[in-house]
Amino acid sequence: MTKSEATDRITTLRQELELHNHRYYVLAEPMISDQQFDVMLKELEQLEAEHPELADANSPTQRVGGDITKSFVTVVHKYPMLSLSNSYSREEVAEFVARAEKEVGRTTYVMELKYDGVAISLSYLNGELVRGVTRGDGEKGDDITANVRTVRSIPLKLRGDFPKELEARGEILFMRAQFDKLNAERARNGEELYANPRNTAAGSLKQQDPKDVAKRGLDNFIYTLQGEHLPSRSHYENIQAAHRWGFKTPDPKRRFIERADSVEGIMAFIDHWDKARHQLEMDIDGVVVKVDDRNVQEELGLTAKSPRWAIAYKFQAEQAVTRLNGVGYQVGRTGAITPVAELEPVLLAGTTVKRASLHNADQIAKLDLHIGDFVKVEKGGEIIPKIVGVELARRVADAAPVVFPENCPECNTALVRYEGEAQHYCPNEHACPPQITGRIEHFVGRKMMAIDGLGGETVVELVRAGLIHNVADLYDLKKEQLLDLGKGWGEKSASQVIDGIAASKAIPFEQVLFALGIRHVGETVAKKIARSVGSIDKLISMGKEELTGIDEVGGVIAQSILDFFAVEGNRSIVERLRETGLCFQGEAQQGPVSDLLAGKSIVVSGVFLNFSRDGIKASIESHGGKVSGSISKKTSFVLAGADMGPAKRTKAEELGVPVIDEEEYRRMIGA
């Protein structure tokens, strides 16, 4: 066979195999037998081996797995993958609709199933899959493209009239039959069974060898598209277009997706699936309600964590009754004491539950728990087990009440409870063993200092060996000290840790601030603070009033920051970290281009000719203005683009707020 003939045959085989793959895994309408498919696939594999210059990352042969991935690269999402606001209350769904319609007037909604799997973002360029990325923290995730290619319901090449660039987002999951088949095979081999489909899907996608992922038989549903040139401003119509391009999408014929223009229509969809969900071939844990019109979505906007145009209604969790054998107490890295119920093992929602969180002393008192009680257990969000009630009729007469301890179970220090907080804390932060290890484990984590080779067990080993007592001690470690520990430590593992510690000196200030483990200062708040104050010195010098002036920093967080730096031990550690070369200085924020809009509060609505949605907001802020999400008497003016919501226009007129167009805005800023 000549090279030209081989090229033609390879092209033909790839097209035919993708067609048959789509008909089998997406449409469930196979045209040929499995044996015929395998014969064609083997022919393609042989031709590709003979002509490596014709290799294609999106060839059907790649669905059986490519090269081993030793690590997953972190990728920043072009469009943030925000989480949805969750609700277990139908009243809250109705309130969501009322809020939206108060803002934009009557609109149409799309209801979809909430798949119980792993969120994934798939990027396509010229119709070919170029990247598959996990949700991660919403701003960035792990590139798992090689593993994604093994999921046969994900198209490697699109068909039809698709945009040049687009992102398809959905859920990778196990169908129940495939999950049961996987567990049956493990049972035959005498292996421990997997707990549930969702966790197993997540673990599968992080396998280093794509060939192992290919054997799992994962599936996928696409539930949204992102891009500049989507075919419609209707979310529902875009999903139908995605189906035509080759994606596996919610089936309208099976009521997996529907549209409604009223609360009654939304509730009818919820009622149907609350009863029918157990008949599905995959797990769902609720229903997602979205505004259909993408223009209206943009008008409603986002919060820091979730869109204002969507809500997830979660089905009530399954419950089980079991015996409370005892209560243990865990000490977290911040000193928080968490009571944990020790239960008689019970099967709940597909997993065996032995322990459940009791949250705090107030929860124990509210439940009036006694040892030996028969308690009702459910999974909050069908994930975390919790006790929700007690069967008092079954309590024995001499049952001892559960008493919250007065002293730390680890170091015996008297516990404290801060005003306005539900939890008790051990204040012995620099000598309480779990706090020491917990703070170090937090510090070295992937979202913090990202130090390779330092997991929880290793940190505990180093603390027990007396090599480290706090995070600053990490930077004094020598490779010889690790090698002297003996078993489990070789040249490679010791070098990995030392190199990882050295590399962490390049971590930006916002991550270093998060890594310090200040109570209540999570990842998002740490970013806000770092970008606002610019340096650790500035932060240490600030008072409570200044701190509360930072976006998302309230009184509780401000006080926690003040308390942290009031402790000499914490200040000493920060100074030692500074001396080792850690970054405690952020990049200087760009100042405003002008003060033409200083003191003005501006509401943006509609679509603009010369600006993207984010671009118009950035422009306002660069000239000293502040962008507000809602119109009030304090609004200086409304900047209106095409398709401005009628409700906002009406409200502006009622309050006498000026409405200007894009051209007038450009004249205002001298553009």
Q: How much is the pLDDT for 287?
A: 96
Q: What average pLDDT does the segment 158-182 reach? A: 94
Average pLDDT over residues 193-214: 85
Same domain (yes/no): 388, 331: yes
Question: What domain range includes position 447?
Answer: 433-506
Segment among 27-31, 182-186, 238-242 with least mean pLDDT: 27-31
Exposed (0-12), middle (13-18) or buried (19+): which is 430, by Cβ within 10 Å? Answer: middle
DSSP assignment string, 531-598? HHH-BHHHHHH--HHHHHTSTT--HHHHHHHHHHHHSHHHHHHHHHHHHHT---BPPPPPPPS-STTT
Coil, strand or helix at 19? helix
In degrees, to the nearest 5, what angle opens at C-alpha 632 toward C-alphas 626 and 636? 45
Same domain, 136 and 210: yes
Contact 58, 123 (CB under 8 A): no
* CATH at residue 323: 2.40.50.140
Q: Are residues 209 and 259 in the same domain?
A: yes
Query: Is 16 within a domain?
Result: yes
Catalytic residue among 3, 42, 70, 114, which? 114
Question: Is residue 565 pLDDT above 90, yes or no?
Answer: yes
Q: Which of 580, 610, 630 is the last residue of a domain?
A: 580
Determine the length of the chain: 671
Asked if 103 and 161 sit in the same domain, the reply is yes
Read out DSSP for 27-51?
A: S----S-HHHHHHHHHHHHHHHHH-
3-state SS track over 121-184: EEEEECCEEEEEEECCCCCEEEECHHHHCCCCCCCCECCCCCCCEEEEEEEEECEHHHHHHHHH
Under DSSP, the state recorded for 400 is P
623 belongs to a structural domain: yes
Rounded CA-CA distance 78/634 in Å is 34
CATH number at residue 561: 1.10.150.20
pLDDT at 251 over 90: yes
Residue 64 has pLDDT above 70, yes or no: no
- Look at 342 and 383; give whichever has higher pLDDT: 342
* Residue at 417 is within a domain: no
- What distance in Å separates the CA atoms of residue 72 and residue 452, rounded to the nearest whole number? 13
Can you give the pLDDT at residue 166? 95
CATH code, 632: 3.40.50.10190
Lowest average pLDDT, out of 72-86, 458-472, 565-579, 643-657, goes to 643-657
Count Cα atoms within 13 angstroms, Cβ side, for 482.
22
CB-based contact 123:131 (threshold 8 Å): yes
Q: How confident is the model at residue 244 (pLDDT cuts 50, 70, 90)?
A: very high
pLDDT bin (cut points 50, 70, 90) of residue 644 is confident
Residue where one domain finishes, among candidates 282, 314, 346: 314
Tokens 């009239």 found at: 161
Say what the pLDDT of residue 470 is: 93
560: in domain: yes
- Determine which of 224-233, 325-334, 389-398, 622-631 has the lowest per-residue pLDDT on average: 622-631
Q: Are 356 and 385 in contact (CB under 8 A)?
A: yes
Residue 466 lies in a domain: yes
Higher pLDDT, 584 or 632: 584
Q: What percent of the chain has pLDDT over 90?
A: 54
Integer Cα distance of 9 and 43 in angstroms: 10
CATH code of residue 295: 3.30.470.30
List of long-range contacts for 391-396, beta carbons under 8 Å, 24+ apart: 391/321, 395/370, 396/372
> Residue 54 half-sphere exposure, CB side, CA atoms within 13 Å?
19
Q: Mark whether 154 and 227 lie in a shared domain.
A: yes
Do both 495 and 528 map to the same domain? Answer: no
Q: What is the mean pLDDT of the chain?
A: 89
Q: What's the CATH code of the domain at 40? A: 1.10.287.610
Residue 318 phi/psi, 5-degree rounding, is -70, 150
* 337 and 225 in a common domain: no
Q: 622: pLDDT confidence band, cut at 50, 70 and 90?
A: confident
Same structural domain for residues 105 and 224? yes
**114 belongs to the catalytic site:** yes
Between 80 and 258, whose confidence is greater?
258
- 418 inside domain: no
| Residue pLDDT, tens place only, 83-105 | 888 888 899 999 999 999 988 88
In-domain check, residue 387: yes
**pLDDT value at residue 70:** 60
**Is the pLDDT confidence value at 590 over 60?**
no
Inside any domain, residue 60: no
User: Is 384:357 a contact under the CB 8 Å cutoff?
Assistant: yes
Question: How far is 2 from 664, CA to CA, in rounded Å?
Answer: 66
Distance CA 271, CA 598 (A): 50
Q: Is 483 found in the same domain as 550?
A: no
Give the distance from CA 124 to its chain's centroid: 22
For the stretch 497-526, pLDDT in tens is 999 999 999 999 999 999 999 988 988 889
pLDDT at 591 over 60: no
49-77 in b/e burial notation, b at 16+ Cβ within 10 A? eeeeeeeeebbbbbbebbeebeebebbeb
Number of domains in the chain: 6
Upper half-sphere CA count for residue 380 (Cβ side, 13 Å): 10
Q: For residues 621-648, give the mean pLDDT.
A: 83
Cα–Cα distance for residue pair 650/657, rounded to 1 Å: 10
pLDDT of residue 617: 82
pLDDT value of position 382: 47
Answer with the residue of higher pLDDT: 34 or 159.
159
Is 259 in a helix, a strand, or coil? strand
pLDDT of residue 582: 95
* 3-state SS record for 310-351: EEEEECCCCEEEEEEEEEEEEECCCCEEEEEEEEEEEEECCE
- Count how many Cα atoms sit within 13 Å of the Cα of residue 16 in the half-sphere of its side chain: 16
Determine how β-strand 351-357 pairs with β-strand 128-134.
unpaired
Please tell me the predicted confidence (pLDDT) of residue 520.
87
List, edge to edge, every strand of the sheet that includes 165-173.
128-134, 118-125, 165-173, 219-226
pLDDT top residue among 255 and 418: 255
Matching residue, tokens 């000549």: 2
Reply yes or no on whether the pLDDT at 588 is more than 60: no
Nearest CA to 41 out of 67, 25, 21 is that of: 21
* 166 and 110 both lie in a single domain: yes
| Statement to judge: residues 137 and 49 lie in one domain | no
- Shared domain for 334 and 368, answered yes or no, is yes
- Contacts of 481 by beta carbon, 8 Å cutoff, 6+ apart: 467
Give the model's pLDDT for residue 86: 84
> What pLDDT is recorded for position 380?
58
Phi/psi region, residue 647 (left: phi>0; alpha: psi -120 to 50; beta: rest), is alpha
Answer whether 115's CB lies under 8 Å from 288's CB.
no
Contact 240, 222 (CB under 8 A): no
Structural domain ending residue among the three candidates 469, 485, 506? 506
Distances (CA, A) of 587 to 504, 522, 535: 17, 20, 9
Q: What is the pLDDT of residue 384?
A: 67
Taking only the tens place, the pLDDT of each residue in 367-393 is 999 999 999 998 754 456 889 899 999
Other C-beta atoms lying within 10 Å of the C-beta of residue 451: 26
Nearest residue to 197 via CA among 280, 135, 291? 280
The percent of residues above 70 in pLDDT, for the chain, comes to 96
Question: Which residue, among 215, 198, 352, 203, has the nearest Cα to 282 in the 3D structure?
Answer: 198
List 370's β-bridge partners, or say none: 401
